[in-house]
Structure 1
Amino acid sequence: MARRMAVLGIAAALSASLVGCEADRGGPLPGGGASSEGGRTLTVVKDGGRQPNEDIAVARIHRLEGASIEQWLSDDEARLVITKVAKAATGTEEPKYEYFATTVDLQTDKQEELQPLAEPSSSGAITRTYPSPDGKFSFVQEWQDKYTASNSVLNLSTGESVEVPVANYLEKGGWLDNETYVLAAGSMNGRGEIYAVSTNGRSKVIRLDDPDAETFEQFEAGYGRIYYLDGKRNLKAFAPGDAKPVTLVKGAGPFRLSPAGNRIAVTAAYREGVPGTKLTMYDTAGSAQGFLIGKGDLVNDISWSPDGSLFAFSVYTEAKSGMNGVYAYDSATGKVSPIGPSYFPQYPLNWNPSGTRLGVTVGGENGLPVTQIIDFKS
């Protein structure tokens, strides 16, 4: 990939300004803040809540060398995987790494003692959990290998788990409402079935009549509707019981449905001869909300905060005058703001449970990850 840009650019259609500066650099900061070189943190102090034209304010940036986030344990604590070089690369051999587990308390920046880990590629079951919107249940998938998973529904208040006896090959689905999880099971021979799974573990097939949906490029559900990309790169939606979908956006790429189910952030699909891509906010009827929120050569990650108040995305543009780095869209004001240095994440953007912190993991020296956790000013 082309060289990384050292300066944050801002698209002409978006008037946004950086609230902070890179944590590694000392010196005065805007708004009367101060940086700490030893702790590699950034602090910005601004009075009052965000106004319609006010940037999203960064309160602090925590820099964690060699770290990636495995899981948030709470708003203030995260479980990390620490990667270290065990043997440096030579002219004929790739470097060798060793891995450790630890937790970090972001109120104190204290990390627990490192515990050795097996390599992430080691065999063994991988468990994925998907909590319901009201937090009462969780859909659980335990993957034994790439194509085999066992499914269950866990009652989070009682600890009772019920098996869901359907076979699936895909990790695609979402909660239709508090009582129903929709699973796009996939198949080795075609699209496979779509199941409505109740919290009691019972399932039934949801019918979909769409010859262009031989597989699902992306699949989400929420607030009584199911959204997916068909084979012709069209974003479509339908409700159980109505098997004929409606087309919301043509020429769509990756999309994300907001937690409130009222907005969809959609990237444009790649088109030969058309440089770059764009990120646009739509309502769930497919009508443009009236603003382009991002544009560049590549938009590589998009993610809503759990409460839906912020939407984060990363952009890379070769031109210095273009957008580069990680940005956040304020769903209340429509404001788009750069929220840190010219990051280009190598891992998915990672929100804490309340959406007050965002983990951004980039590549560092010797192929090691570096995680910057951004604290937002409330």
Structure 2
Amino acid sequence: MIKKNIGSYGQKNGSSHREDSRTRVFRQKATGVLMTGLIAGALFSGCGMKSAGETNPASGMKPGQQLTVIDTDAAQQQVTDELVVSSIDRLGDVYARSWLSDEELIVERKTQLWIHNVETDKERILTPGRKAPQLLAVVSPDQRHVFFTEGSTSSKYDIQGYILELGSGKVTSIGKLDMTNEVSWSDENDLITGTPDGKIQLIGLDGKAKELSFQDPNRSELMSHVEKVGNAIFYTGSDKQGYPVLNRFTLNHPQAVTIAEGAMSFAVSPDGKSIAIEKRKWNTSEPARMIILDEQGKEKGIVGQGTLMSRGSWSSDGSKLAYSIYDEDQQGMRGLYVFDQSTGKTTPVTTDIQSYDSPTVWSPSARFLSMYQNISEGGKQLNQSYIVEFKRK
């Protein structure tokens, strides 16, 4: 692991913003763990609106600098409450997957899952004795189980899902998985996923699937991303013209309603009261925007915009939202950003990370943030993972 001085951590030339084809195919099998929190503050201001002292985020901004993109009373808090980057560590030739704790991160190294200790740099294998290629891993909210996938050496389309009980080492099969539908934890006892025929399933720790009943007149066969918070289920659907929308229904009221149009991706805060969406307007040259909605879909404000952006990721207490942006405009937002709801500010973390198609994952206490991307270096394509550490308040 190479530790970089935060003051000199700059942008590389020739960085690739895409994963390799193998990872890009399988990355949709897992999403970040749903956690708990509450959005604070009043209405946000759009990125195109500046108040006194504000600046537009640019590729030359240094990590740790603060960019105010919303106007709230919380922004008047003391400097000690602001988010400050302590260090950025780099792990070569691995894909960072999911945090077991603030010290241990599950990584995929050469199609095998390992537990990497960020304090000692030591590693141990996650599932000893298993020989099939392993690709993805997502830790349950209570850190007691791990959902992981295994592939086949004979066919890249043959993907099997499993649940590992960390205490006993017991592995339970959940069967073959479809490549176009993500799997995530809905709570500590169930996984949730869409199916190729437009259904939604909960999968228990015993590996058995239960179909959820709901009505959607425009139900699409491709339901790539689903999240469940309490009794509410959110999923990417389609309108009558086939454009993407964000839909919501509850277990008590299974009639789905559209709460946001043009939603390419979304992330629901742990308490379900805030939703971060990547919104695009079709047939226009307008940039994509990272917008915060309430649970009913009412827009609260914009916290980022650019040509391409990753899905937002909420911290475990719901106070912070991380996302990566790439903008064709050299003066636009580029790099990894964190929106802190307690201060109402967005911090540009580093311009070195502009991977819009890989997940950003928080450690349980939000002390660390991990992300990976595929980079070009010396004429070679290399896997690169980053671990951002924030100063403790």
Corresponding residue number in structure 2 for 1:212: 218
- Residues 139/361 of structure 1: CA separation in 2 closer, same or farther (3 Å cut): closer
Deviations 1:16-57 (A, max 9, x none): 799x9769xxxxx999xxxxxxxxxxxxxxxxx993786421
Q: Normalising by structure 1, what TM-score?
A: 0.67
Map 1:17-32 to 2 at 5 A.
none
- Residues 276/135 of structure 1: CA separation in 2 closer, same or farther (3 Å cut): same
- Residues 325/181 of structure 1: CA separation in 2 closer, same or farther (3 Å cut): closer
Corresponding residue number in structure 2 for 1:126: 134
> CA offset at residue 334 of structure 1?
2.8
Map 1:154-169 to 2 at 5 A.
156-157=166-167, 164=174, 168-169=177-178
Distance in structure 2 (CA, Å) of the matches to 1:174 and 1:16 = 37
Map 1:244-255 to 2 at 5 A.
244-255=255-266
- Mapped contact 1:195–1:205 kept (Cα < 8 A): yes
Corresponding residue number in structure 2 for 1:26: none
Distance in structure 2 (CA, Å) of the matches to 1:146 and 1:263 = 37
- Mapped contact 2:326–2:354 kept (Cα < 8 A): yes
Distance in structure 2 (CA, Å) of the matches to 1:198 and 1:305 = 24
Structure 2 runs not aligned, ≥5 long: 1-12, 16-45, 67-74, 126-130
Pick from 351, 355, 364: which aligns with 1:345?
355
RMSD of aligned alpha carbons:
4.2
Identity, in percent, stands at 24
Map 1:29-108 to 2 at 5 A.
51=77, 55-64=82-91, 68-69=95-96, 72=99, 74-78=101-105, 105-107=117-119
Pick from 267, 278, 296: which aligns with 2:289?
278
Deviations 1:61-118 (A, max 9, x none): 2244555435546423446667xxxxxxxxxxxxxxx9999886544xx645999xxx
Greater C-alpha radius of gyration: 1
> CA offset at residue 287 of structure 1?
1.7
Corresponding residue number in structure 1 for 2:326: 316
- Mapped contact 1:315–1:323 kept (Cα < 8 A): yes
Distance in structure 1 (CA, Å) of the matches to 2:14 and 2:263 = 27
Aligned residues: 319
The structure with more strand, counted as a fraction of residues: 1
Distance in structure 1 (CA, Å) of the matches to 2:160 and 2:383 = 32
Distance in structure 2 (CA, Å) of the matches to 1:280 and 1:240 = 26
Between 1:269-278 and 1:130-139, the stretch displaced more is 130-139
> CA offset at residue 180 of structure 1?
3.9
Distance in structure 1 (CA, Å) of the matches to 2:142 and 2:108 = 30
Secondary structure of 1:261's aligned partner: coil
Between 1:175-184 and 1:323-332, the stretch displaced more is 175-184
Distance in structure 2 (CA, Å) of the matches to 1:198 and 1:106 = 31
Secondary structure of 1:308's aligned partner: coil
> CA offset at residue 265 of structure 1?
0.5
Between 1:73-82 and 1:325-334, the stretch displaced more is 73-82
The one-letter code of the counterpart of 2:259 is: L
Distance in structure 2 (CA, Å) of the matches to 1:206 and 1:13 = 43
Distance in structure 1 (CA, Å) of the matches to 2:204 and 2:93 = 41
* 1:291 equivalenced with 2:301 (yes/no): yes
RCO higher in structure (CA 8 A, sep ≥6): 2
Distance in structure 1 (CA, Å) of the matches to 2:207 and 2:115 = 34
Distance in structure 2 (CA, Å) of the matches to 1:151 and 1:114 = 21
Map 1:121-200 to 2 at 5 A.
124-126=132-134, 128-137=136-145, 142-144=150-152, 146-150=156-160, 156-157=166-167, 164=174, 168-170=177-179, 171-186=181-196, 190-191=197-198, 193-200=199-206
Deviations 1:241-283 (A, max 9, x none): 5331011111211111123332211011351123211110112
Distance in structure 1 (CA, Å) of the matches to 2:307 and 2:371 = 20
The one-letter code of the counterpart of 1:335 is: K
- Mapped contact 2:98–2:139 kept (Cα < 8 A): no
- Mapped contact 1:51–1:333 kept (Cα < 8 A): yes
